[in-house]
Amino acid sequence: MQQKTKAHTALLATNIFFAINFTAVKFLINHSLIKPFGLNLVRVAVTTLLLWLIYPLKKQKTVVQKKDIGRFILCALTGIAINQLLFIKGLSLTYSIHASLLMLTTPILITIIAAIFLKEQLTNSKIIGLLLGITGAAVLIAARDQTGNASNVLWGDILVIINAASYTFYFILVKPLMKEYNPVFVIRIVFSIGLIVMLPFCWKEFYETPWHLYSAKDISILALIVIGGTFFAYLFNVYGIKILGASVAGAYIYLQPFFAAAIAMFFLGEQLSVYKIIAAVFIFAGVYLATKTKNNA
């Protein structure tokens, strides 16, 4: 198999794993098998351990330079601690389809932050894209839905959007590190720092997890979230970015809502109602216009 084909396969697998996460996480939490922060600790702790276990496979000996320590800490806070905690908590409160669509606002948020902090020009198409994306998100948040299983849709949607904003800052902060260090090394250090930060917030819910109630099916679902949806997903994504570039890898995020919606409808009984379709159209159009690279004033 050619290298580019492998990279495309890796990115496709990454986004399928992420899509599965939306339903798998809801399943465990809805059945009171684990609480959101407890699940976060399992995800990050196991992934961190696996990243260190593959360390001997990498021959390069890399150390964090003093000038980059602050940036690594900020990446751990925005990309792991805040991002992971708010995503799982928000997903536990809202619908899987909502969360998957709202995560598409990440490219839009990158455009906004780049304009504010990096002084990148906002073209007319980008401004229209931002407005469309915000409108789509507003439709999801404002709508009332009685299908599926969600305890507080409004608060859950807000947490998912804050999570997307946090990941946006991480995406911008980590770029220079990915160029200077080996990408796997960067992820390993970021996860390690993130784990330390998350531990005091997550330990209580992790300790309360009723492990004795887990069946083989439940363990398999948890393993799918941790091994597939976290460890391999991060590694595959890094590999795809390295071979094909960030823009190609970013385009695969559009597939997540389709996979996530199909899985959530089948396993969780969620419905693809008219307002969700309308919101999706607004968000997809907004992301497309906001991320256009050609100069269309």
DSSP secondary structure code for residue 31 in this structure: T
In a domain, 296, yes or no: no
Q: To which H or E segment does residue 3 belong?
A: helix 3-30
Report the pLDDT value the prediction gives residue 215, as an integer from 0 to 100: 95
Better-scored residue on pLDDT, 37 or 104: 37
13-22, 107-116, 136-145, 277-286 — which one is most confidently predicted on average?
Answer: 13-22
pLDDT in tens, 78-131: 999 998 899 999 988 888 888 888 887 777 777 777 777 666 677 788 788 878
What residue numbers bound the domain in which 15 lies? 3-290
pLDDT in tens, 224-280: 999 999 999 888 888 887 787 766 776 777 777 888 888 888 877 777 778 788 888
Binned at pLDDT 50, 70 and 90, residue 70 comes out as very high
State yes or no: pLDDT of 47 exceeds 90: yes
Q: Could you tell me the two tokens for 211?
A: 């492990």
Q: What secondary structure does DSSP assign to 69-119, as a single string?
A: HHHHHHHHIIIIIHHHHHHHHHHHHS-HHHHHHHTTHHHHHHHHHHHHHS-
The values of phi and psi at residue 77, to 5°, are -70, -50
Amino acid code (one letter) for 140: L
Better-scored residue on pLDDT, 297 or 202: 202
In a domain, 297, yes or no: no
Mean pLDDT value across residues 193-198? 96
Distance of alpha carbon 230 from alpha carbon 106, whole angstroms: 18
pLDDT in tens, 159-187: 988 988 888 888 888 888 888 888 889 99
State yes or no: pLDDT of 138 exceeds 50: yes
Mean pLDDT value across residues 59-83? 87
State yes or no: pLDDT of 295 exceeds 60: no
In a domain, 252, yes or no: yes
In a domain, 278, yes or no: yes
Tokens 């536990």 belong to residue: 92
What contacts 266, CB < 8 A, 6 or more positions away? Answer: none
In a domain, 174, yes or no: yes
The values of phi and psi at residue 43, to 5°, are -60, -50
Report the pLDDT value the prediction gives residue 61, as an integer from 0 to 100: 57
Q: Could you tell me the two tokens for 283?
A: 């968000």
Mean pLDDT value across residues 203-231? 95
Total Cβ atoms within 10 A of residue 62: 14
Number of folded domains in the chain?
1
Mean pLDDT for the chain overall:
84
State yes or no: pLDDT of 296 exceeds 50: no
Which pTM value belongs to this model?
A: 0.81
Q: How far is CA 116 from CA 6, 49, 105, 109, 172, in A?
A: 37, 37, 17, 11, 13
Contacts of 1-5 with C-beta under 8 Å, sequence gap 24+, read 3/243, 4/243, 4/244
Q: How far is CA 210 from CA 44, 180, 227, in A?
A: 19, 43, 20
Report the pLDDT value the prediction gives residue 57, as an integer from 0 to 100: 60
